Structure 1
């Protein structure tokens, strides 16, 4: 059976509030409270139901809940308070540290030895200690000197300053200049390149022999930095006797190899070290091109058969070649280098040919063919007639008929033009007539 919902009467407080006059303040508070209660009752349609009310619809639980905006505002206020407190603590701590530092500075008394500091030995050009400072306008007025300010930049006096002092090269010493591993200039002379390759191979073999004699398998001398050396070291390395066998192995004199290996060890503190004089040109050649040609002529071609299959030996040779000549050997070319001759051929490149005949002669492929001949100049039909002996007969027959053998015989290009129009006018006359014909058309 369907139930009819009962409508409750308004509370007595609400009725009393509506009947009371507006001037009485004691009933105003009661009216507001009753109105709030009535509004709350009207906003809950569940209260008009006759069915039992569930616990989660009770008004107490809704009153306990708070909106998300209120929670966010409370959290933001708490965060601000914590930040302000932390900032205040940091300021106090910083003030305490500054006060402690000031106390230490006030209590510090340097020794007399520390006050009179020794001068630093340096090759840098330091700024002058006696600096002339320009006087201010008030100081000039006190001395009775009239000061006239400049109106334009041309009236200003140019004086030196300390701005960019160490940006100038003349203020830096020789020890502060960069001294690279490779020489400043690459070697381009073929004789010097071959001489440096021979020196690099001899020094690498001497270093390998010294390493094997010492019994050190890591070979630090082969992979380490070498001294660039002077002329005496170069002559000693070039004079090393190399006994090349058929398989490319080399025999050395132990005493000579020991001296060369000892000179190769890098010592930056030595008086003759390559780092001791960095102001000079890096990698300056010890021999002139003429001297190198004379030395190269005295060698036989047997040393070019020295094998470079050993990886450590090849690395030492190519690194030394870079240090002496400035030519790096690319990794793609290392696999094609098997002997010292291959390295020389890679570095010493022939001059580019100026003519096609020279290029064909250098290549030598066409000259080997039986049915091909290479000539230095262009071949014409006359050359072919001369080769078979026919040209003399042709010249005689042409002379009988008064025909030139070569050329036009002085007839010129415009012989037919002479026949048709008469002799050719000079260029200036032709230009005048062309201008006159143009004027007449206008």
Structure 2
């Protein structure tokens, strides 16, 4: 009986943790140092686990999306089918595995953690008629963490402070990021998380600092092939998180800033391009109602999914918001709206071909949850403003695309 109870509690706790992970992508609650194991008498001991989220979805859409269809829809493609024919498909790529190990009671009161996450968004094994059924794995996160008290230090690939949380979705990866007001990414670097209040405080404050690898796209800087994003000042971010998770109102506020400097190379000339961004976000929960969102302004931060993934000296802003209401223990309804709006003149100067001037995304969702099982029906609509170059002439137009998807996920 005791063993069964412990197993039930463990599965419930894991499901809660991973469901939070599935929505927010940030897992600062692991490892949550447990009460001392009396059987170990303070001696070091090790725990490990393999967990994950399996997601399968089927979809139908009337037009095509940029960067792909299915789970990674972003904006409406510039050229849409001339005939109104529906496309049917399925997607398994929003599936990932989490490998975790934690060593407790190490010298000097240290807890050490190793964590790696793999998903299946790494493309397909070859081409042809069978490629869609042969997905390749991809590393999402991989880091080593050292924790003592309220101080955590992570070395490896992790979500940067700009990523506070993602919209709730069963079917779609990182909805709104790169397409509708969400910015931030996962990069290899050094990450410091420092609690600034007592662990027992109702309102908790945490400071996040990160220095991580630079990134950009363009001509190579030297004959040795170094990327210009790796030559300038590394990407640096600072974040402040304030939250109160007591009843009846649970709230969280996130503030973050970004700076980097790339050294651009064109032939023998050298120039610097500074990347800057500020972002504010919040999440409010009261009873069955949830309201969350982010807003940002940034310049030259395409490597962090800003400016609709258009690289250049381009400024822009974006925002997304999502409202949800849980009608019962199992059934909830959600609607998300977001847009990204880079500076038109700077986009036209930096992008020689087809250019995205603005994009908005609207996603209503009905979701059913029962323990580790989640099922959702989502309608994804994108409206995109374009400057197209057709037969040497510039054409301005707006395209739209719709997708209806039924997704199911299982957390283990």
**If each structure's strand is expressed as a fraction of its own residues, which one has the higher value?**
2
- Name the TM-score class by shorter chain: under 0.3
Compare CA radii of gyration and give the structure with the larger one.
1
Higher RCO structure (Cα 8 Å, ≥6 apart): 2
Normalising by the residue count of structure 1, what TM-score does the alignment of the two structures yield?
Answer: 0.16
Normalising by the residue count of structure 2, what TM-score does the alignment of the two structures yield?
Answer: 0.17
